[in-house]
Structure 1
């Protein structure tokens, strides 16, 4: 059996997404059918639209979906129809990383999140003239309905609006997790956050939660620096108007305890490492498109400094996403301040606004069918 859904389809590299009616198949034994309420737009979605090789096309993108479980496969025990869920990255559950609880480093991440199909080569979607790839990040949630694995559907409390929760599945958990899990920022510490987009601002909110005493936000857009102050930054630096690292040295004379780069700018990364204090740690979130970065080894060794790659904030989503929601419910993690809503029909405008910096975190509301 199949059902008709509305979806934003990426058919051609670099071209706008097209809103189409597709057929969606039934969930398999270990899968879940979710009625999508809203889905966040992430820079990874834009990157996949622009890349000729990273995902097969045509494909339905979207990987920050939130919705309500409609149907479950026969072996699903974690969820039941009516549950509210946030969809996140998919994992295998049986590699050494998954066994040890480090699901963000699952050995099968590439296959499960970017292949655009199930292991047997099938896709969940079909169009009028051809197959359409699915299972992007195990969900393909730029659609009114999505099929995901029971592993990457996270049950959440029902008293928080679903339309704001999708970004917790990737961008927000990455920024917050980088501070709380990966870097383990301690009370009284100093932290510099380079880039005040949704990931960087989530990190700033998390640093305030962690009790950091110096939280420096660096960006080139005054509006983002303004909201950074409101969300917990103690200092802001407009990199377009002042010398970033002279200011950092003036603020944290003994060097930063922690630095977090979300920009992928190699010059920024090198300078951030140089301005760490003794035993300081620089976390890297942006992949910088696979570029190589250089650091001074003597400076690293004598200072006991380190550079740490961070994926998905070292999050175990089953526990971390509900924790972030609890912080939000207590008024201590107001990530909804970053959100601007768009209709599915306006998804290309949402992506353009994100690329230009006009919108920090676009969220696509799905139409009722």
Structure 2
């Protein structure tokens, strides 16, 4: 038996999404049927639409869903009908990394999140023309309903508005987790964030939670820099208006920063980030780049700094643990990520993608 759903379909590489009626099959024993209330639009959705990552198209994307549980498979033990949930990245749960609590680095991440199929090769979605790739990040949340794998489901406080919580599933978790789970800055330290879209803004807020006393935002958009200062940045720099390295050197009185986080994955920006590190500083990359992208770092004079470069996936978080913590911080007014959000209807989803790309909206959220 199938259910008719309305979904935004990425039809082929680089093409706008199309809102269609699709058929959703019955949830499997290890799946949860979720009625979506809202879904965030993320840069990862755009790069999959554009063929940079290998999900087979046509596909229903969307991986920052939030909704209400409508049905549960026989094997589900973590949620029940009526629970409010946020949806995050899927992970296999049985590889060495998952068993070690490092779900963000699941050895089967590409198959679980980008494969477009269940493990048995089936897809939950179809139309008259044939199957449509589903289970993107375990969910495919640009749809009114989804069959979601249990590892993607996080139960949240039912009093919190789901249309606001949706972006926690990926982008905001990534930025906040990079700071709180991976970099773990001590109070009184310094952090610079390159690119203060949704991910970078979450990092700014997390730096304030962690007690950083110098928090520098770098971006090309003045509106985003103004918002970053409202969220906790102590300094802001428009990278199109001056020498970023020189400005950060002045701010830190020549000492450099303890931590630098790059959300852009632009090689020239990463070189700047490395250049502003202080002794024993750490540079972390969370932005997605096209495979094969390379960055040359200066390793002569900088050798004596003893600096570190690392990549971070999904904020190095266990979503079922970390996302409820972010909800609590929001409820206390310490993580005001709702200031980033602008809502769109499903019919306007391509406008949401465009507004995200041009910087006019920090975090688009499609509300059903």
Between the aligned partners of 1:219 and 1:329, the Cα distance in structure 2 is: 28
Between the aligned partners of 1:343 and 1:178, the Cα distance in structure 2 is: 30
| Partner in structure 2 of residue 293 of structure 1 | 295
| Partner in structure 2 of residue 360 of structure 1 | 362
- Match of 2:352, SS state, is helix
| Partner in structure 2 of residue 329 of structure 1 | 331
- The answer to whether residue 317 in structure 2 is matched with residue 315 in structure 1 is yes
- The answer to whether residue 110 in structure 2 is matched with residue 106 in structure 1 is no
Select the residue among 340, 343, 354 that pairs with 2:342: 340
| Partner in structure 2 of residue 257 of structure 1 | 258
Q: CA deviation at 1:53?
A: 6.2
Q: Which moved further from structure 2: 221-230 or 295-304?
A: 295-304
Size of the aligned set, in residue pairs, is 366
| Partner in structure 2 of residue 19 of structure 1 | 19
Between the aligned partners of 1:132 and 1:257, the Cα distance in structure 2 is: 46
Between the aligned partners of 1:156 and 1:17, the Cα distance in structure 2 is: 30
| Partner in structure 1 of residue 304 of structure 2 | 302
| Partner in structure 1 of residue 278 of structure 2 | 277
Structure 1: gaps spanning 5 or more residues: none
Between the aligned partners of 1:321 and 1:174, the Cα distance in structure 2 is: 10
Contact 2:195 2:219 survives alignment (8 Å): yes
Q: TM-score, normalized by length of structure 1?
A: 0.98
Between the aligned partners of 2:6 and 2:43, the Cα distance in structure 1 is: 22
Contact 2:58 2:133 survives alignment (8 Å): yes
Structure 2: gaps spanning 5 or more residues: none
CA displacement 1:213-253 (0-9 Å, x = unmatched): 00000001110010011000000001111111110000012
| Partner in structure 2 of residue 51 of structure 1 | 51
- Match of 1:26, SS state, is coil
- Match of 1:336, SS state, is helix
Q: CA deviation at 1:300?
A: 4.5
Contact 2:244 2:272 survives alignment (8 Å): no
CA displacement 1:74-114 (0-9 Å, x = unmatched): 01001100011000000010111001100000001000111
- Match of 2:290, SS state, is helix
Q: CA deviation at 1:271?
A: 2.1
Q: CA deviation at 1:288?
A: 2.6
Runs of 4+ in 1 over 2 A off after TM superposition: 296-301
Contact 1:278 1:304 survives alignment (8 Å): yes
Contact 1:199 1:262 survives alignment (8 Å): yes
Between the aligned partners of 1:96 and 1:324, the Cα distance in structure 2 is: 27
Between the aligned partners of 1:161 and 1:338, the Cα distance in structure 2 is: 15
Between the aligned partners of 2:300 and 2:239, the Cα distance in structure 1 is: 28
Q: CA deviation at 1:302?
A: 1.3
Q: CA deviation at 1:196?
A: 0.9
Q: How does 1:58-207 map to 2 (within 5 A)?
A: 58-207=58-207
| Partner in structure 2 of residue 230 of structure 1 | 230
| Partner in structure 1 of residue 2 of structure 2 | 2
Contact 1:29 1:73 survives alignment (8 Å): yes
CA displacement 1:133-184 (0-9 Å, x = unmatched): 1000110000000111111100001010001111100000000001111111
